[in-house]
Structure 1
Amino acid sequence: MKKKYLLIILGLSFNCAFSQVGVNTPNPRGILHTDGQKDNPASGSSFTSAQQLNDVLITNTGRVGAGTHSPAVKTDARNSGNGAVGFGTSSLTATAADEGAVRYNTGMEYSNGNEWLPMLTAQPAVNKVIVIAAKTDNKVKLVSPSAAVTTGLQNRQSNYLVEWSKTFESNSGSTFNASTGVFTAPRNGVYVASFTTDLAPLAINYTADPLNPIQIEAIWQLYDNTAGVLAANIVNTVKCVNTMSSNSNGNIDAGSNCTASFYMTAGQRLMPYIWFNLNSLNTAGFSLNNTGGYNNLTIAEQ
């Protein structure tokens, strides 16, 4: 019985004395230290770069060093020799792999938690959406996108711009409806939208009123992902305003531009319109300057 107790005590003493484990070395420098070539010194703390090159160790802070005894990060393979790190392919989805995972798939990719992105370009595997369109007529919908199409813009009214001519669209060609002027986000992301308008020359002669300044506004309006176009469906509105002189001696152009960035969730809708207060007329008879390419729209996914 005394011999059994003695063996237990000796075993415990051995574990306490050798809390660091060395493989091929009696001089471990971490909790677990493997000396691949068995070329480390038997004692001391001085190791050459060549001796460290074939070592792998785990420190008491949970860091892993491959080819170095002083890992600066969780996994550190930097050394003066072959410090390459290899990654294999993975069939896991980006969601399952979770944010921050890395894989090789005909190029290095990382997961942002939703999709695998190429490491070098940080772009999604799908093509980014780019829309370019021009407007060469005077068709609008007054006040609401649900209203009937009319020919001619109206003073002091919300003129939704419809009937665009799409000149380019990447990624399926269906995110922008040129007829309705509605852009629908295909997925969550940031979209930069810009459009420019120019009214045909007109006389600006509305009496100055501080509550109704003489101006023209280019406006982007963001709707939710339903089919509704009521005020309750509006998510965000961005207005870009150009003010005008109180009166003009002759007809002049009045134009505006609006560029804005929107975070859109899949299915949300973006639409451009203009509002102006330039003279005393309230007829739906104002025209855009349809020559010279003044009326253009661009939407680009970031």
Structure 2
Amino acid sequence: MMRKNILWIVLIAGCNAVSGQMGINTMNPQGVLHVDGQKDNPASGNTFTASQQENDVVVTASGRLGAGTISPAVKVDARNQGNGAVGFGNTSLSAATADEGAVKYNNGLQYSNGNEWIPLLTAQSGSNKVIVIASKTNNNVKLVNPSANTTTGLQNRQSNYLVSWTKTFENNSGNSFNASTGVFTAPHDGVYVASFNTDMAPLAINYNTDTLSPIQIEAIWQLYDNTTGLAASNIISTVKCANTMSSNSIGNLDAGSNCTASFFMSAGQRLMPYTWFNLNNSNTANFSLNTSADGYNSLTIAEQ
């Protein structure tokens, strides 16, 4: 019996229960459960400094949890003028098992939509967002694949990867876009809007009666993974924008195209433009772009 009495005395000394409230290291609890980590709270009243609250944990009668604050405004509240960070770890649970709204950290914050883990984009400051502007006033391309040798002159009915750009502006690090190779590399996870224009030098556009091979010019963006490879196995997605023509030209005409698309890119993934065209039903080599200095062939990439 004596041991039981001593135990009760110890418990009462360590905490205080008043009107259903329990305080640990404090005789002045401000919630159903109030833990004062540093024993620095006032003995009475409800006026607490930010530094006194910073080491406290409170559970309110409405079921709210405050870590570093005695007045949580939401279900879990860690806001304080001091250290208010909340840490997330990784999990092996599937998005469906973790359920919609779950958050984890796996080389970046991700949230579950109930079906898959979605990267939670980290906002970049305006001065830190990537913007690239470039122009092209030559006929240098890499035919068929972006690892080929540079060729002067575009090929009808071939993939013409556009290289040898002139970079007119790039902010941020200044090296996300390689003007020589035409490859843009994402410096960090984000959404990037990419646009480029091509314009062929004036030429005769010959009508092709084969409906399976229409007269057309395509502007194409190709997104690659974050390795160094540029093979077909490294392609993540391709976005094509095509202009078609259906009649012979009496004289020479310009044939141009534009492609604008938005991409979510993980850090290290790469984006490259190319063009494909079928304008005279032949495999004649060395077609030319309109390479005047009037900006007919331009490229812009802007992070959102």
Fold in common (TM above 0.5) = yes
Match of 1:301 in 2: 303
For residue 232 of structure 1, give the secondary structure of its aligned residue in structure 2.
helix
For residue 251 of structure 1, give the secondary structure of its aligned residue in structure 2.
coil
Distance 1:228 1:76 in 2: 45
Match of 1:20 in 2: 21
- Counterpart contact for 2:64–2:74, Cα < 8 Å: no
Match of 1:178 in 2: 179
Match of 1:266 in 2: 267
Match of 2:82 in 1: 87
Give 1:1-302 correspondences, 5 Å limit: 4=2, 7=5, 19-21=20-22, 30-32=32-34, 38=44, 58-60=59-61, 61-64=63-66, 71-75=73-77, 85-88=80-83, 97-98=87-88, 122-123=123-124, 127-291=128-292, 292-302=294-304
2:134 alignment partner AA: A
Question: Structure 2: which 5+ runs fail to align?
Answer: 90-104, 110-121
Distance 2:297 2:303 in 1: 21
Flag the 1:151–1:67 CA change in 2: closer, same or farther, 3 A: closer
- Counterpart contact for 2:64–2:75, Cα < 8 Å: no
Distance 1:161 1:221 in 2: 12
- Counterpart contact for 2:64–2:73, Cα < 8 Å: no
For residue 131 of structure 1, give the secondary structure of its aligned residue in structure 2.
strand
- Counterpart contact for 1:208–1:246, Cα < 8 Å: no
Structure with greater Cα Rg: 1
Flag the 1:242–1:20 CA change in 2: closer, same or farther, 3 A: same
**1:173 Cα deviation from its structure 2 partner:** 2.6
How many percent of aligned residue pairs carry the same amino acid? 57
1:196 alignment partner AA: N
Distance 1:227 1:8 in 2: 71
**1:218 Cα deviation from its structure 2 partner:** 0.2
- TM-score with structure 2 setting the length: 0.68
- 290-299 or 59-68, larger mean C-alpha shift: 59-68
For residue 252 of structure 1, give the secondary structure of its aligned residue in structure 2.
coil
